[in-house]
Chain A
Amino acid sequence: MSLPPEFQGWFTRQGWQPHPHQIALLAAQGDTLLIAPTGGGKTLAGFLPSLVDLARGGHKGMHTLYVSPLKALTADIARNLARPVADLGLSLRIEDRTGDTRQAQRARQRVDPPDILLTTPESLALLLSYPEAPAIFGGLKRVVLDELHALAESKRGDQLMLGLARLRSLAPDLTVTGLSATVEDPARLADFMGGAQVLLADPGPDPDIAMLPTAHPAPWAGGGGHYAIPEVLTQIRAATTTIIFINTRAQAELFFQALWAANDENLPIGLHHGSLAREARQRVEAAMAAGALRAVVATGSLDLGIDWGAVDLVIQVGAPKNVKRLVQRIGRANHRYNAPSVARIVPANRFEVIECVAALQAVRERDLDGDPRGPGPLDVLCQHILLTACAGRFDADALFAEVRRAGPYRGLTRTDFNACLDFAATGGYALRAYDRWQRLVLRDGLWGLRDPRAVRDLRMNIGTIVEAEMLKVRFRGRGGAPLGEVEEAFAASLEPGDTFLIGGQTVRYEGLRDMVVEVTRQPTRKPKIAVFSGMKLATSTQLSHRVQALIGDPTHHAALPADTRDWLALQDQVSALPRPGVLQSESFRHDGMWHFALYGFAGRNALQTLGLLMTRMMEAAGLGPLGFLSTDYALLIWSLDPVTDPAPLLDREGLRAGLGDWLGNNAVMKRTFRNVATIAGLIQRNLPGQRKSGRQATFSSDILYDTLRKYDPGHLLLRITADEARRGLVDFDRIEDMLDRLTRHDHRMLDRVSPLAAPLLLEVGRVPIAGQGRERLAEAEAAALMAEAGLEI
C-alpha cells in the first residue's frame, strides 16, 4: 500500500512529514517488526495500514486488534487515534477492552465487535476462551503488538504468542506488526513473533548521557543515592520536566522523602510506583500529562508507554543493572524525534560508580545486553490448553500444530505437549486418582471440559502475572483514603506503633482490619523501614563482564573518578585486583570471625546461590559457616574457621551435586513453584470473598510442593519449577559461566580487611545459615518470650 492523497493531506495539515519507516511499514508485505526509538511515531506507523485499509470501506467486523502491556496505554491510544479518524472523516468504532471495561460493554463487544479493539494479553486470552471467538476474530485483518520488547521478557509475551497462533488459525490471512524499542537482537525478537521481516527506523542522534557530578563522592555502601540530593534538585530546577528512575519501590519512597526535605522552593515533585494506590498513580500521571509537575520519582512503573511530551531530562539513581533498560529509560527524555535525549546517572555507592562508568561505555558503543529467555515455558502452555477447552472441544494434533506456530514454542516436542495435556486433563500424577473427575475428557476424538462449572474458575485464573499477596493500606477511620499496598509478609512483621513510609509519608501501623492495614499519620517520626518490594534485578551478564574488565585492568582506570582510582590502587597494593580471567578471593579476620570474599561478578542471584552451596560444603568441612551476603559482584561468607583453599569449595561437580540436593527444600524454589502452579492452574488466585474473612481457606502452596516432592518427584510442575529456578532466581547457569570464564583461582590470606571487601561489610541483606540454625532461632525466640512473660518452660 502507498499513502493515499487524503492521508498525505492530513499529514501536511498537521505540519508533519510521514517518517520513512511509517511509509515503509505501509508498503511492507507480510509480518513486520518495526524497531524505532521512542518518539518515532511508532504507534501511528502501526495503525496507518489499518486506517488506510479501513478508509477504503467494505470491511465488516473486527479489522484490527492492538495489544499492549499496559491498560493505560490502550486508553491513551484510543484518544490519540480519535483525532486522525475524525479529521479524515472515517466512520470507525475504536474501543478498548481491559480488566477495567464495564460488563455491559464486554458483552456487547462479543456480539458486535468494534473495527479496532485495543487490549492487553490477558484480556485477549479471555476473549479467545469464549465459544464466540471464531465469530469475533474470523474477519480479522491486522494485529499490532506494541512494546513487544517488554512483553517478550516475560511469560505475558509467551501467552500472547500462543494467543496469536490461535488468531492465525481463526483468521489465516492475518498480517502482524510488532512495535519495539531498541533491542540488542532484532532477529531474535522477530523469531519470537513467529517470524517477521525487521524494519529498523533511524535510531536518531546519540544521547547526551553522563554521570552527574556531585560535591561529595558516592558512599562506600548502600543504595539510596541521597548524597546527590542537592545536585539532583539543581538539575530539576534547570529542566522543564525530569523523571528520576530508582530501582526499588522502597528506595523510591526514601529518595522522594529526602528530596522533599531539601526542596526549599517547593518544586512540584511527584512519586510513582507500583505499590501506590491506582488513584494515587493516576493523579500523578494526569499531573504529568498536564505539565503540572517538575519531576517524578519513579520505578519501572514508568518504564513503558505513555507519552510525556515535556520530559527533557532523565536521572537514573543507582546502577542501571542492564544497559538495554538504561537506553530505553534514557529514551523517555525528549520524545521529540531527532533531538538527543539527556540523561544523568547517580551511582549509589563505590561499586556502582564502576558499574555506571562501564554502562556508559556500553551505551556509547551501542552494545546492548540481554540474556535470552529460553523456550516457551510449559506452565503457560498448560493454562493455554485449559483455556482452549473453555472455548470448545479441540483436537490434540491440531492444537499441537497450532502451538508450534507460536515463536517461543517452535521447538516444542510432542512429549512435552502431551505432558501438558495430561496435566490439564488428569493432573498428570503417577497415582492415577482422578479417572472419574478428569478436568478434560476425550470424547469422539476431541478433548473438552468434563464439568462446565470449571469454566468460571479457569477464566478467573487467566494470566501469567503472579503477585505476592498484597494488603491495602488505609488511614484509620471511616472513608480513610487508600494509600497503596504492601506485601502481606511485610504487614505481618509490623507491630502496632511501628512506622513506615508509603506514598511519601510516614505512617504508624495501628492494626489489621478486614485484611486492610490501618495506619495513622505520623509526620514527625522517623520511619522504621519500607521494605515492600520483593525481587531485586541482577546485573546483566554482559555488564558484569564489562565491570570486571574495567576493575581488573589498571590501564582502564583513567575512565574512573579519582577517589575510585585511589581505592582500586590501594586494593592492588594490599591484595590483588580481580583481573579478567581470574577468580579472585581473600580470607581475613574481622570482628572475631573469619571472612571469605569471592569476586565472582556473576550477579546477585547466582552469587546468592553460590553462597548457599558453598556454606553447605563449609558446614560439611567443619568450618562453621555463620552467614553470608551477596551483591552483584561479590560473595562474602563469615565462619568460625578460615577458608584457606577455595578450590574444593568451587568444584563444579560438587556444586552441581549440592544444587540438586539443596534446591529441593529451598524458599526460592517454593516461591517459583507457587508461580508455576498458579499459572498452570493448580492453585487458584482471587477467589472472591476468600481473603475477606481473614481465614486462610487455602493452604499454602508450600504444602503442595513438599507433598509432590515426597510422593511424585517426577511430576511436570516440579520439572518446570526446576528449569525456571535454574535460569531465574537460582541462576546456576551464571555460576557455570563464572567458572568457565574465571579459570585461574587466586586466593590471598590477609591480615586485615581489604579495600575491596570493606564496603561488603557495610551491605545489608545478610543471610544466616539455615538448617539447625532456624530451629535454634525459633527456640531462642520462644524462650525469650516465655521469660519476658515470667513463664517457665
Chain B
Amino acid sequence: MSGYSFTFAGQRLVARPSGALWWSDRRWLVVADLHLGKSERMARRGGALLPPYEVAATLDRLEAEIAATDPATVISLGDGFDDDAAGRALADEVCARMHRLARGRDWVWITGNHDPGQVCARMPGRTRAEFPGIPALRHEAGEGADISGHFHPCIRLAGQRRRCFLIGRDHLILPAFGAYTGGLLADDPALAALVPQGLAVACGARALPVPLRQPRRA
C-alpha cells in the first residue's frame, strides 16, 4: 500500500490511496463523506432505486483500511450519513458490522450538513461538531489550518477522473470516501479559493501527487 507522506500544519500525515488520511502520531484514521444510506434516502423520496450496495461497498473499503492501520480512533469527517434518517434506517447487520469494526477503538462522528444531529444510538461512537486545534478537524473548511471534507475533490489525470486530496497552506481537504459520491474538480472556483496552490494527491492503485495548476483566469 503506497500512501503519500507529507507534512501539514506541522503534523506528519499520510494520504492513503483509498482516500483515507492516516495520522500516525495519534493513530487516527480520518475518512470524509461516507454518505451511508444514500440509496435508501433517494428511494424514500420517490427517486430511482439505486443498487442498494453502497453501504456494503463503503464498509468493505473502510474495513480494509482499519485492518491495515489498526487505528486508536476512527474519525468520520462529517456527512457520515446521507441524512439523519438514513442513519436510523440502516439494517441491523450493518449496525452489527459497525460495532465489530469499532471494537477496541474510539469512533467519532463529526457532524456535517447532511447529518447535523446526534449519531443514532444503534451506531458505535459519539458525535462532535469539530476538533479544535492546529490543525482543526471539521466538516467544511473554516479558519485554517484545518482538515476537512465536504467538497468531494477530484482531478483529471491521464484522461481519467480521480478522487483526490488537496493539500494547501491553510487547508487539507479529503476526498469523499463513500461509494456513491460525485466530485468537484480541483480547479473549480470554490476549491481554488481554498487551495489556490499546493498539491493534489490522486487516489487509485497508488496515491499519486500532482502539483495544482494556477487557477484558470475567470
Chain B residues with CB under 8 A of A704? 50-51, 180
A699 touching B181 in the complex, CB below 8 Å, given contacts A431-B53, A454-B46, A712-B51: yes
Partner of B209, one of A431, A433, A786: A786
Whether B1 sits at the interface, judged by CB under 8 Å, is no
Given the contacts A778-B204, A789-B211, A453 and B45 also touching, CB distance less than 8 Å: yes
A682 and B199 CA atoms in complex are apart in Å by 36
Proximity string of chain B (177-218) to chain A, C-beta cutoff 8 Å, 1 when within and 0 when not = 001111111001000000000010010111011110000111
CA of A694 to CA of B216, assembled, Å:
14
* Interchain CB contact under 8 A, A450 and B202: no
For A699, what are the chain B residues with a Cβ–Cβ distance below 8 Å? 180-183
A511: Cβ under 8 A from any B Cβ: yes
What chain A residues lie within 8 Å of B132 (beta carbons)? none
Q: How far is the CB of B96 from chain A (nearest CB, A)?
A: 16
Please tell me the size bucket of the interface on B.
35 or more
Minimal beta-carbon separation of B165 from chain A (angstroms)? 13
Give every chain B residue within 8 A of A433 (Cβ-Cβ). Answer: 39-40, 43, 52, 91
Minimum C-beta distance from B188 to chain A (A): 5
Q: Are A496 and B216 in contact (CB under 8 A)?
A: yes
Residues on the A chain within 8 Å of B43, using CB: 427, 433-434, 437
Q: Is the CB of B48 within 8 A of A682?
A: yes
A779 near B53 with CB under 8 A, answer no
Q: Mark B36-48, 1 if CB is under 8 A from A, else 0.
A: 0001100111111
Query: Which B residues are CB-close (under 8 A) to A700?
Result: 161, 182
* Listed stretches B63-71, B104-112, B141-149, B152-160; interface member: B152-160
Do A451 and B50 touch (CB < 8 A)? no
Is B84 part of the contact surface with A, judged by Cβ < 8 Å? no
Say whether B182 contacts A781, CB under 8 Å: no
Establish whether residues B54 and A707, one from each chain, have CB atoms under 8 Å apart when the complex forms: yes
A786 to B160, CA, bound (A): 18
CB of B134 closer than 8 Å to a CB of A: no
A793 in the interface, Cβ–Cβ < 8 Å? yes
Given contact pairs A433-B40, A437-B40, A779-B208, A683 touches B182 in the complex (Cβ within 8 A):
no
Chain A, 671-719, CB within 8 A of any chain B CB: 681-684, 694-700, 703-704, 707-708, 710-712, 715
Determine how close the nearest CB of chain A comes to the CB of B159; give it in whole angstroms.
8
Say whether A265 faces chain B, with CB atoms less than 8 Å apart: no
Known A-B contacts A427-B49, A682-B50; A697 and B182 likewise in contact (beta carbons under 8 Å) = yes
Contact B47 A457 (CB under 8 A): yes
Contact call B184/A707, Cβ cutoff below 8 A: no
- Given contacts A433-B40, A437-B40, are A775 and B51 in contact (CB under 8 A)? no
Smallest distance from the beta carbon of B116 to chain A beta carbons, Å? 19
Other-chain residue from A511, A707, A777 in contact with B51 (beta carbon distance below 8 A)? A707
- CB of A429 within 8 A of chain B? yes
In angstroms, Cα B156 to Cα A783, docked, is 15
Determine which of B91, B156, B183, B205 lies in contact with A696 in the assembled complex, contact meaning CB atoms within 8 Å.
B183
Give Cα A429 to B48, complex, Å.
13
**Out of B46, B54, B206, which one reaches A451, CB within 8 Å?**
B46
- In the complex, what's the smallest C-beta–C-beta distance from B97 to chain A, in angstroms? 14
Within 8 A of A (CB), among B1-56: 4, 39-40, 43-54, 56
A774 touches B158 (CB 8 A): yes
> How far is the CB of A491 from the nearest CB of chain B, in Å?
11
A391–B52 CA distance with the chains assembled, in angstroms: 28
Please tell me if A81 contacts chain B, counting CB pairs below 8 Å: no
Chain B stretch 65-101: residues in CB contact (< 8 A) with chain A: 91
A695 is contacted by which of B57, B184, B199 (Cβ under 8 Å)?
B184
In the assembled complex, which residues on chain B have CB atoms less than 8 Å from the CB atom of A786? 209-211
Residues of A within 8 A of B57 (CB): 707, 710-711
What's the count of A-B pairs with C-beta under 8 Å?
A: 129
Q: Which residues from chain B contact A749 at a C-beta distance below 8 Å?
A: none
Contact partners of A788 in chain B: CB under 8 A: 211
CA gap between A786 and B56 in the complex, in Å: 36
Cβ of A559 < 8 Å from any Cβ of B?
no
Known contacts A433-B52, A699-B180, A707-B54; A778/B217 CB under 8 A: no
Give the CA-CA distance A451 to B199 in the complex, in Å: 46
**Cβ-defined contact, B216 with A512, below 8 A:** yes
Residues of A within 8 A of B158 (CB): 774, 777-778, 781
The answer, among B154, B182, B199, B209, for a CB contact under 8 Å with A698, is B182
Partner of B156, one of A492, A496, A681, A707: A492
A775→B205 contact, CB < 8 A: yes
Question: In the assembled complex, which residues on chain B have CB atoms less than 8 Å from the CB atom of A496?
Answer: 216-217
Could you tell me the distance between the alpha carbons of A711 and B157 in the complex, rounded to whole angstroms? 28
Q: Find the B residue at minimum CB distance from A774.
A: B158
Closest residue of chain A to B49 (Cβ to Cβ) is A427
Cα-based distance from A788 to B159 in the complex (angstroms): 19
Q: Are B209 and A429 in contact (CB under 8 A)?
A: no
User: A431 to chain B: which residues have CB within 8 Å?
Assistant: 52-53
Cβ contacts A505-535/B at 8 Å (1 or 0 each): 0000001110000000000000000000000
**A439 within 8 Å of B (CB atoms):** yes
Question: How far, in angstroms, from A454 to B47 measured CA to CA in the complex?
Answer: 6
Complex Cα spacing A457 to B43, Å: 13
CB < 8 Å: which of A452, A681, A775 contacts B48? A681
Q: How far is the CB of A460 from chain B (nearest CB, A)?
A: 12
Residue of A nearest to B176 (CB): A699
In chain A, positions 124-142 with a C-beta closer than 8 Å to chain B are: none
Asked if residues B52 and A684 are in contact (CB atoms below 8 Å), the reply is no
Looking at the complex, which one of B39, B157, B179, B181 makes contact with A778 (CB distance below 8 Å)?
B157
The answer to whether A711 touches B184 (Cβ under 8 A) is no
Is A782 located at the chain interface by the 8 A CB criterion? yes
Shortest Cβ gap from B51 to chain A (Å): 5
- Taking CB atoms, residues of chain A closer than 8 Å to B206 are 775, 779
Which residues of the partner chain B approach A781 to less than 8 Å between Cβ atoms? 157-158
Which residue in A453, A774, A789 is a CB contact (below 8 Å) of B46?
A: A453
Whether B179 pairs with A707 at a CB distance below 8 angstroms is yes
Within 8 A of B (CB), among A476-525: 492-493, 496, 511-513
Asked if B180 contacts A434 (CB within 8 A), the reply is: no
Of chain B, the residue at the smallest CB distance from A438 is B49
Q: Is A339 an interface residue (CB 8 A)?
A: no
Assess the A778–B160 pair: CB atoms within 8 A.
yes
Residues of the A chain whose Cβ atoms lie less than 8 Å from the Cβ of B185? 694
Q: Which residues of A contact B204 (CB under 8 A)?
A: 775, 778
**CA–CA, A715 to B51, complex, Å?**
10
A195-B176 Cα distance, complex, nearest whole Å: 54
- Complex contacts, A437 vs chain B, CB 8 Å: 40, 43-44, 49
Other-chain residue from B46, B180, B182 in contact with A450 (beta carbon distance below 8 A): B46
Nearest CB of B to A146, in Å: 34
Q: Is A767 an interface residue (CB 8 A)?
A: no
Cβ–Cβ contact A708 & B47, under 8 A:
no
List the B side residues contacting A711 at CB < 8 Å: 51, 53, 56-57
A712 to B53, CA, bound (A): 9
Question: In the complex, how many angstroms separate the beta carbon of B203 from the nearest chain A beta carbon?
Answer: 11
A–B Cβ pairs within 8 angstroms, 26 of them: A427-B49, A433-B43, A439-B46, A457-B46, A511-B216, A512-B216, A513-B218, A682-B50, A696-B184, A700-B161, A700-B182, A703-B179, A704-B180, A707-B179, A710-B53, A711-B56, A715-B51, A777-B158, A778-B158, A778-B204, A781-B157, A782-B157, A782-B202, A782-B209, A789-B211, A791-B209
9 closest cross-chain pairs (CB), A and B: A427-B49, A451-B46, A433-B52, A437-B43, A711-B53, A696-B182, A789-B211, A454-B46, A778-B158
Residues of A bordering B, CB below 8 Å: 426-427, 429, 431, 433-434, 436-439, 450-454, 457, 492-493, 496, 511-513, 681-684, 694-700, 703-704, 707-708, 710-712, 715, 774-775, 777-779, 781-782, 785-786, 788-789, 791, 793
Given contacts A434-B40, A710-B53, A778-B160, 16 further A-B contacts (CB under 8 A): A427-B52, A429-B52, A436-B44, A437-B44, A439-B49, A457-B47, A511-B218, A682-B48, A694-B184, A696-B182, A696-B183, A704-B50, A707-B57, A778-B208, A788-B211, A791-B199
Interface residues of B (CB under 8 A from A): 4, 39-40, 43-54, 56-57, 91, 154, 156-161, 179-185, 188, 199, 202, 204-206, 208-211, 216-218
